[in-house]
Each structure stands twice: as structure tokens, then as C-alpha cells.
Structure 1
Amino acid sequence: MGELRTRLAGPDDALVVAALTLQCARHRGGQVEPGFLDRHARAWLATGNAHPVWVAEAGDEHAGYLQGAVVEPLPWPGRPAGAGADLLVDTFFVRPEHRGIGVGEALLRAAAQWARDAGFRQVLISAGEHTTTMVERVGFVPDARAYRLEL
């Protein structure tokens, strides 16, 4: 597979991010849409820094990606101004042929380190049955306060 690397995606990676998103959607049962790659690339570029993405590469292949959503809190009594944002892990995908070699853990560690270095308050992720152990190995702890309402 080659050396495993992670990096923060930049504007030149917009089509790579779109392609990985499409692979993730197809893996999860989604359909191919004509024009999706260009539409996604344009939309992602328009968000500025609100949706940072980390790309993992194994050798010369794209192995997976992690997309976050930056949530800036509004002022709150007793919370100092600039107390830090939250990074929500929005999409987290490792291509099936690259699973089991540390890709997911490397992506999570890269995103968490970036958030730590940028002064964020916390990183939040919803872990499924196949990712719980890996997420905990990175240092995340369960939080029983989370609920979901699908609309």
C-alpha cells in the first residue's frame, strides 16, 4: 500500500474531496448524479474554512477523508469572548481496500491536532459500532448527552 500520509486539503484538492465524497456516498448506497463532482467542488470551495477536510493517502492512492464542520459559539454569559469553536466530524470515510492499516486513526489524529493547535474547545464525532474502539484509542470519550432527531 505504501506510506500513509494525511494532509489538510486545500483549494487545489476540491475535485479530490468531491470524488471521495462520491465514493463514500456510493459505498453507503447512494447513486451517481451527473455533474456531482463539479457541483460539490464549487460548493465546498464556497464554504471557505467552515468545512475543513483532511485527506489520507496510502502510497499514491487516496485512502479516505474526514470532513469537519466548524461551529463558532455565540456569546454566552460567563463564557469569555473567543473561547474557541467546536469541530464536528461531519463525514468520515476510509475506502474499503484501505481499512485496517490505520487510515481512520491517522485522519482523526490529524483533525484533532489541527483543532487543538487552532484553539478549538472540542472535537465531536458520532461513532458507530465499527469505529468506537478506534475513536476511543484516539482519546475521545463517550458523551451520553447526544441525541438525534431525523427530519
Structure 2
Amino acid sequence: MKSKNFLGLAICCLMLSCSVKPEPIEFGKESCHFCKMTIVDEQHAAQMVSKKGKQFKYDAIECMLNDLSESKNSDEMAIFLVSSYGESNLTDAQKATYLISKEIKSPMGAFLSAFQSKEMADKTLTEVDGQLYTWQEIREKYGIE
């Protein structure tokens, strides 16, 4: 009887630990999955969660895109999140608008920022010089199929 209870408990724990949802990024404590630098910039961080619940956290959006480009595991991911510039909150990467502007530095030097809405990106574009991209366009720029 004890072994059945233990097995049930083990299965419940396994199911709870494999939850497909993002975990908060612990800024200043966690390292980027791609470049291994400490994640400190709340305005450029990114995160992916696999369909099995594995967390991938990045210090820069370009690290996430470079990792996707090299690993070719885009289909294994359930969630893509990016920090919304100027807001320091994570937003759906697939709905975000991206800006590459030499006037806004990002941690790895790609000058890549994301915005929760196109309106926010357009407003920033009136203040800086740069180019806007959709999720699909930025993926293509990084060679992600």
C-alpha cells in the first residue's frame, strides 16, 4: 500500500514540476541560457518555455533569437516572452513589435528592443532612428525557420 501512495505522490510531483508556464526571472541571480552572462537588464530580457515545461531565460532578446537559430528547436517551445521596453514586464514575443535602433543599447550589442504594442514602438520610433520588425520578420533576420 505504501508503494502505491508513493507512486501516486511521485506522479503528482512530476506533473506539477512540468507545468508549462513561465517562472519569474531572478534578475542579478540567474544566468543567460545562451551567453551565460548574469541577467540584469529588465528591459531586454527574454524567456522561452518548452512544451515539457523547461525554462530558458536570456539576458537579451538577441540571445534568445541566436539560441533558436542555432538549436533549431523552435517547434519544441510553447511560450516565447520578451521584455517590453520602457515597461520592464514580459509580453508575448509573437505579438510584440521589435525595434533595432543604434540609439537604444541592448546587453549583447544588437540594439534590439521589443514593445508590447505597435503603437508603443511607433511612438519610440518618432524619438529615435531605427527599423521596426514583426515576430516573423525578426525571426527571418536571425535565420530562424
Same fold (TM over 0.5): no
Structure with more contact order per residue of length (Cα contacts < 8 Å, sep ≥ 6):
1
Structure with higher helix content: 1
Q: TM-score, normalised by structure 1?
A: 0.29
Larger radius of gyration: 2
Q: TM-score, normalised by structure 2?
A: 0.29
